[in-house]
Amino acid sequence: MARRLHTRGAGTKGPPDPPAKAAASEDSPASAKPLLRWDEVPDDFVECFILSGYRRLPCTAQECLASVLKPTNETLNFWTHFIPLLLFLSKFGHLFFLSGGDVPFHHPWLLPLWCYASGVLLTFAMSCTAHVFSCLSLRLRAAFFYLDYASISYYGFGSTVAYYYYLLPSLSLLDARVMTPYVQQRLGWHVDCTRLIALYRALVLPVAFLLAVACTVACCKSRTDWCSYPFALRTFVFIMPLSMACPIMLESWLFDLRGENPTLFVHFYRRYFWLVVAAFFNVSKIPERIQPGLFDIIGHSHQLFHIFTFLSIYDQVHYVEEGLRQFLKAPPAAPTFSGTVGYMLLLVVCLGLVIRKFLNHSEFCSKK
């Protein structure tokens, strides 16, 4: 009996069962094996409203790699992040090794940029890996997507490290000499903002660290029946670390950020526009929700989600680079290894422990 279209979290039922098609025989050559429909693969491999273009299960690693050149429903998921990966490799390679500046690539001033660059590159690399090798086995599929979630949390924390050193020090909002008279003039409060700002600076990185771990746990749990709307939850969780950029938004409301730093203002708000668009496609499952089967190979929501997340990071790189340029003109105390790379290494250990815990429980390895 044909299986019902798997749309857990979508809130709709699938279309009428199509006539069952016989899967390719096991003894035929790999190149001759046809792509499968949604009713010919296990439920845990079925994507919402995607009816065709599935690879056979289980695939070998060689077959997975070969599939990136075939019209499957995962092919453009790979390419929409592999091409940006190459672009950012070139960009960061130029910044570290070919910019012609006076700061060598190993200088402490560049430690936050190394943290940020590693996050950007890792999240694109893990996304590519997860989409290519997602049909090796059920357990490996879960492992790759857990690593994908962890890499996004790693990237979010790396972004916060870059903000902390390159962007936040230049904000009037975090300058007690500016904020104390501003609060007194606007609100009539005689408050010395020095301690509040010092407390905020002391808590930014620890809070961002805990948030990265918590987001990874939530995303991993979303792959179980515990979560009715996994895509909405993951989108919300991915957005949570972006709250660490709130001071930049407040700066634009309270002060003339557009006039003082137009590069930051334009790219910051354009980045968040791309993120809103990406979130819309990831949650709504449009356009495949409207016409299931039409966008299986080209144009489905996850491909659009990839494209707009790439555009958001592309804009972010621009204003992080501008922040670095301003930082190098008058650098404060040099970033420390423990306050940058040390944090990132500790986060890797914590995220690894989270993934190991979920993989050791079979219930977390058998859902979408």
Phi-psi domain of 100 (left: phi exceeds 0; alpha: psi -120 through 50; beta: other): left
Which residues are bridge partners to 296 per DSSP?
Answer: none
Over the range 115-152, which residues count as b (16 or more CB within 10 Å of their CB) and which as e?
Answer: bbbbbbbbbbbbbbbbbbbbbbebebbbbbbbbbbbbb
Tokens of 336: 């420390």
Tell me the one-letter amino acid at 287.
P
What is d(CA 157, CA 209) in angstroms, rounded to the nearest whole number? Answer: 6
C-alpha–C-alpha distance, residues 323 and 263, integer Å: 9
Q: How many CA atoms lie within 13 A of 294 on its CB side?
A: 8
CB-based burial of residue 197 (10 Å sphere; 0-12 exposed, 13-18 middle, 19+ buried)? Answer: middle
- The token duo for 289 is 């929700």
Task: Tell me the HSE value of 245 on the side-chain side, using a 13 A CA sphere.
Answer: 23
131 is in an annotated binding site: yes
Give which of 263, 254, 367, 271 is closest to 9, Cα–Cα: 367
Instruction: Please identify which residue in the block is written with the tokens 């966008």.
Output: 295
State how far the Cα of 89 lies from the Cα of 102, in Å rounded to an integer.
21
Residues at the annotated binding site? Answer: 131, 302, 306
Annotated binding-site positions for Zn(2+): 131, 302, 306
